[in-house]
């Protein structure tokens, strides 16, 4: 009995004196742990006569419960004190200025890529890709550029170093080779756009050696010029966010389409801002045409069974027109101030129903 009283008063004193959670846990182990004093007393129950056990059992249990309870109470108090101390050192100065809202911005070219993908995606097109380093077959020959044809020279091609005994690869001069890859690797019906970088040896206020195009290709049965016109007029209306657009398709030459046409749209100039849709001047915005039968054949598609149309447009200039940027060169100078001014919030994904810009 005296054991019980001594142990209880010593244990409670030690619990009270524990200055932190680690010290408290040491006391708990010393009293209630497997080899602790209270546990030791509990073990003596096994050696007692039934009468003794009947008397001592409840007393020892009560001791164990009181010590455990005291540990819990002390623990709660120590935890509260620790939290108070932490809060006291972690005060927040509410008068500090906020952080800058965002430092990065989506480049207008990427924004326009996403807008174009959203518009054509809505018309059932998917996005296709091809390599920037192309071979002569995909960039020229399969697209019906004859060997030695002057059209090859008009592209100011960058040639890679030729491997021994082989033909040099080129930096693709347009996104049209993705047409060839798509038709060769898949089967009609085909409805794709191919956004990407293209390269030509050119450098002034409106030309950079690397620029961006979006190619489009539709191959299905019974496709005709009317589909081409309807699709592209719908695109221009959606892209420039106008209800109507006056457009004309002016005959042109591309080796890979027959007939070929450049699409012009009417516009007005109000000071420095250009408004697309109506007005008294024409502006060329893209090249297009019906896919040439030779191109279909080069990709293993029977031109008597399938027809299609294709188009290609320069994205940098479309971005300039839509967002009023006067010069192409700063596009690629990685000037953070320019990007902050002309850039877009990267998390606002354009969609036809949710708003493009
Ligand atoms: N590849 C042409 C260029 O870079 C653009 C183009 C014109 C693509 C007509 C087409 C097309 O698919 O049908 O100038």
Task: Say whether the peptide bond before residue 267 is cis (omega within 30 degrees of 0).
Answer: no
- The residue contributing the CA closest to ligand 1 atom 5 is 312
Rounded to whole angstroms, the Cα distance separating 210 from 335 reads 17
Position 4 scores a pLDDT of 86
Position 272 scores a pLDDT of 75
| Beta-carbon-side half-sphere exposure of residue 89 (alpha carbons within 13 Å) | 5
30 with 86: CB under 8 angstroms?
no
Distance from the Cα of residue 8 to its chain's centroid = 66
Position 114 scores a pLDDT of 95
| Blockwise average pLDDT, block size 10, the chain, 357 residues | 82 93 94 92 90 90 93 94 90 81 82 96 97 96 88 81 90 97 97 97 86 98 97 97 96 97 94 86 96 98 98 95 86 88 84 77
Q: Return the domain boundaries, the chain.
A: 2-89, 108-342
Distance between Cα 249 and ligand 1 center (Å): 14
Q: Please, what CATH class does the domain formed by 108-342 belong to? A: alpha beta
Distance from the Cα of residue 191 to its chain's centroid = 23
Position 222 scores a pLDDT of 96
- Tell me if 311 CB under 6 Å of ligand 1: yes
Position 2 scores a pLDDT of 59
Position 99 scores a pLDDT of 75
Distance between Cα 287 and ligand 1 center (Å): 5
354 with 113: CB under 8 angstroms?
no
27 with 33: CB under 8 angstroms?
no
133 with 169: CB under 8 angstroms?
yes
Rounded to whole angstroms, the Cα distance separating 37 from 43 reads 10
Rounded to whole angstroms, the Cα distance separating 215 from 186 reads 17
Work out whether the CA dihedral 143, 148, 153, 157 comes out positive or negative: positive
- Tell me if 255 CB under 6 Å of ligand 1: no
Position 184 scores a pLDDT of 98
Position 180 scores a pLDDT of 98
Position 102 scores a pLDDT of 60
Position 262 scores a pLDDT of 98
Position 151 scores a pLDDT of 67
Distance between Cα 240 and ligand 1 center (Å): 21
DSSP 145-193: --TT-HHHHHT-PPBPPPPTTSPPPEE-SSSTHHHHHHHHHS-SSEEEE
Q: Which residues contact 26 (CB under 8 A, 6 or more apart)?
A: 18
Position 353 scores a pLDDT of 76
209 with 200: CB under 8 angstroms?
yes
346-355 — which CB contacts under 8 Å span 24+ positions? 346/104, 346/105, 346/106, 349/114, 349/118, 350/111, 350/114, 350/115, 350/118, 351/118, 352/118, 352/119, 352/122, 352/238
Token pair in block for residue 316: 């940098």
- Tell me if 144 CB under 6 Å of ligand 1: no
Distance between Cα 289 and ligand 1 center (Å): 8
Strand residues in the chain grouped as ranges (E): 126-127, 133-134, 170-171, 190-199, 210-220, 247-254, 257-270, 273-276, 281-291, 307-314
109 with 316: CB under 8 angstroms?
yes
Distance between Cα 311 and ligand 1 center (Å): 6
171 with 158: CB under 8 angstroms?
yes
């Amino acid at each position: 009995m005296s054991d019980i009283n001594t142990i209880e008063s010593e244990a409670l004193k030690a619990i009270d004196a524990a200055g932190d959670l680690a010290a408290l846990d040491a006391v708990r182990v010393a009293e209630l742990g497997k080899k602790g004093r209270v546990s030791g007393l509990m073990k003596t129950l096994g050696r007692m006569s039934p009468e003794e056990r009947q008397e001592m059992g409840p007393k020892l249990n009560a001791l164990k419960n009181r010590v455990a309870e005291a540990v819990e109470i002390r623990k709660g108090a120590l935890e509260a004190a620790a939290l108070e101390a932490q809060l006291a050192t972690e005060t927040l100065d509410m008068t500090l200025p906020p952080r800058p809202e965002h430092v990065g911005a989506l480049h207008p070219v990427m924004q326009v890529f996403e807008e174009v993908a959203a518009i054509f995606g809505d018309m059932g097109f998917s996005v296709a890709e091809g390599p920037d380093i192309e071979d002569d077959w995909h960039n020229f020959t399969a697209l019906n550029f004859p060997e030695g044809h002057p059209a090859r020279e008009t592209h100011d091609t960058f040639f890679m170093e030729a491997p021994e005994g082989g033909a040099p690869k080129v930096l693709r001069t347009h996104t049209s080779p993705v047409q060839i890859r798509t038709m060769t690797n898949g089967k009609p019906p085909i409805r794709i756009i191919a956004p990407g970088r293209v390269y030509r040896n050119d450098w002034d206020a409106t030309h950079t050696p690397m620029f961006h195009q979006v190619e489009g290709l539709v191959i299905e049965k019974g496709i005709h010029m009317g589909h081409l016109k309807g699709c592209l007029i719908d695109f221009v209306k959606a892209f420039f966010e106008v209800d109507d657009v006056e457009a004309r398709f002016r005959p042109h030459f591309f080796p890979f389409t027959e007939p070929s046409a450049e699409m012009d749209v009417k516009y007005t100039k109000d000071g420095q801002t250009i408004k697309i849709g109506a007005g008294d001047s024409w502006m060329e915005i893209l090249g297009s045409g019906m896919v040439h039968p030779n191109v279909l054949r080069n990709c293993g598609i029977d031109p008597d069974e399938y027809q299609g149309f294709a188009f290609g447009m320069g994205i940098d200039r479309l971005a300039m027109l839509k967002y009023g940027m006067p010069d192409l060169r700063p596009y690629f100078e990685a000037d953070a101030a320019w990007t902050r001014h002309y850039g877009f919030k990267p998390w606002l994904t354009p969609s036809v129903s949710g708003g493009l810009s």
